[in-house]
Chain A
Amino acid sequence: MGTRMLPIVSQAVSPAALASKPEPTGFFTDTTICIGCKACEVACKEWNQLPARGDGGAHLEMSGQSYDNTLELSGDSWRHVKFIEQFPEPYEGRWLMMSDVCKHCVQAPCLEVCPTGAIIRTEFDTVVIQSDTCNGCRDCIGACPFGVIGINHVSNTAQKCTLCYDRTSVGLEPACSKACPTDSIQFGPISELRVRAEARAVQLREQGETRAYLYGADPNGPLGGLNSFYLLVDEPEVYGLPRDPKLPSRNLAKGSLLSSIAAFGMAVAGALTLRGRRMKEVAEASTPEHVS
């Protein structure tokens, strides 16, 4: 299937809206200036009225190993500030911090597999799950290459960041980027964000941080680019990100073809052997018995 974008069945954008389609918008997250304050997580939870993790907050769960107690993105946590503690020696090391979120992939794996049409692409080129359509089959959870989606235990449907569709559609900035005190999370038109991100990466490299690079900013890269992309200073895996995210449909044609050939072969083998047996029975029945 390659990385060709497949059509979607359920389309929230009317033809009229498409004609006056606004510019694609998204996030650029500069992880080098994230201070791990988690204001974005709190703002997201508040605006989207998301429950606490686990049992709804009746028991506060602590990871016990890190200042990161959110631990993962889920149906209840649409932002997650990752803490990467790199301390090879007691007095030497660094903390990398990264506010993770749905990447609003240009070719979105979750949207590709959703069998109910609950997942749609909005006029802002973002990816949204319609909670009233989703039936919780969880196909999208396994399809997302970034482990973004989870079941929300209040709605019993799959949920994730909507890129604050309810705010952006009335001209407001998403809650997380609005709350971010260092502008680590920046919201805006993708074309502008890319220019800004590239300039920042160059600046960092000139200042000696030669490991600085952009993850997901390339429109010719994996999944047609990510509408939420990052500036990182270590390997993607160090941040818990996949090096080579792919579309799930890469296996569809080959898997179906192999199975169909095998299925056809077995059906033909069964038919031929049964037919052979029937012929033999007919032949035996019509052969006159020898009189000895």
Chain B
Amino acid sequence: MQTNLPSTFFTAPPEFGWIIILYFFIGGIGGGSLLLAGLLRLFGIPADRPYIRLASFLAVVCAGISAVLLIADLSSPLRFWHMVIQDHTLLPMFKWWSAMSDGVWILLAFSLFAGTATIDALQDIEWPPMRTLRSLLRVVRFISRPPFATISAIGGIVSGLSLAGYTGVLLAETNRPIWSDSSWLGIVFLMSALSTSMAAVMLLSHWRRVHETSTLEWLTRFDLVAMVLELVAIVCFVISLGNAAQALYNVWGVALVLGVMVVGIVVPLVLQRRSNHGIVLPASLVLAGGLLLRAVVLLGSERIHVVGTQVVR
């Protein structure tokens, strides 16, 4: 009988599909990468420079893709600017109590700091066409010097972490099943963003043949912490769903346990302990698990809707 269903089951799905899943995934990688770049810039050693470069480039690419995905997902994409400027008054549009409004400004700040991090990283590149570009970049060279370098790194850390975590809060600030039945989704997405971004940076470094043992060791250890906390956060999230957890008594629940938790977190953790498996396999599994996590959370909720008076799931 549907009288014992949670109230969130009587709502309509906003049709957040694969575009939003990809945005959450790519935005998370970008946010985590900018955090890494900022931490390494502030507290690292000179040998970390190649990793800072990779993480900064990754962040700026993710910022661009995220903006395109978000605009493409709007039902009226040409009105994307209504998110930042009120169309009737041309005043800034900001509602701190709307996580979506916060997210737009977070993405803007993130893009700014990803840009300054990239300008800083470009100074190192010895590739010939870069020399011409560098003469242009000389105008903004002050960005790489104190105090701007420090401001840019701290801004990157704060905006990166915010971008990585706000998406879970955005979903929680609805009335939809799964999303709004818990306050833990922000932490889950944050930890997943950190683990996937470290996996992406490690894969990139492998591909670019960048190898600095002490940086890699630190990344692996930090990744381990993020993955263990992600596992704990997912368990807390599912427990906190209470009666609404029934929304996951289906293929999406199986995907969460087997795909996300086992294949996407536990297996890479085990593989990382045995270092003879290299970077590629565990990092790829972490990335696949991160994408699947977002698919489970979004599509697991999206399928629930009311037809006539019956809740369909």
Residue picked from A9, A71, A149, most chain B C-beta under 10 Å: A9
Cβ proximity bits A68-93 to B, threshold 8 Å, 1 near / 0 not: 10011110000000111000000000
Count of A-B residue pairs with CB < 8 Å: 253
Q: Is the CB of B222 within 8 A of A270?
A: yes
Q: Given A142-B16, A237-B3, A241-B10, do A267 and B83 touch, yes or no (CB 8 Å)? A: no
Chain B residues lying within 8 Å of A112, measured Cβ to Cβ, are: 97-98
Cβ-based interface call for A17 (8 A): no
Cβ proximity bits A82-110 to B, threshold 8 Å, 1 near / 0 not: 11100000000000000000000000010
Q: Is the CB of A148 within 8 A of B12?
A: yes
Cβ proximity bits B227-265 to A, threshold 8 Å, 1 near / 0 not: 001000100000000000000000000000000000000
Q: Is the CB of B11 within 8 A of A136?
A: no
Cβ-based interface call for B101 (8 A): yes
B1-53 contacts to A, CB under 8 A, are 2-3, 5, 7-16, 35-36, 39-40, 42-45
Cβ proximity bits B153-190 to A, threshold 8 Å, 1 near / 0 not: 00001000110111011001111100110111111001
Main secondary structure of the interface of B (DSSP, over half): helix
Q: Given A243-B7, A275-B43, do A82 and B309 touch, yes or no (CB 8 Å)? A: yes
Spot the interface stretch: B61-69, B73-81, B118-126, B273-281.
B73-81
Q: How many residues of A contact B (CB 8 A)?
A: 81
Cβ proximity bits A244-275 to B, threshold 8 Å, 1 near / 0 not: 11101111101110111011001101110111
Q: Is the CB of B98 within 8 A of A115?
A: yes
Chain B residues lying within 8 Å of A63, measured Cβ to Cβ, are: 307-308
Cβ-based interface call for A39 (8 A): no
A8-29 contacts to B, CB under 8 A, are 8-10
Cβ-based interface call for A198 (8 A): no
Residues of B within 8 A of A (CB): 2-3, 5, 7-16, 35-36, 39-40, 42-45, 73-77, 79-80, 82-83, 86-89, 93-95, 97-101, 104, 157, 161-162, 164-166, 168-169, 172-176, 179-180, 182-187, 190-191, 194, 214, 218, 221-222, 225-226, 229, 233, 305-311
Residues of A within 8 A of B (CB): 1, 6, 8-10, 63, 65-66, 68, 71-74, 82-84, 109, 112-118, 132-139, 141-151, 156-158, 235, 237-246, 248-252, 254-256, 258-260, 262-263, 266-267, 269-271, 273-275, 277-278, 281
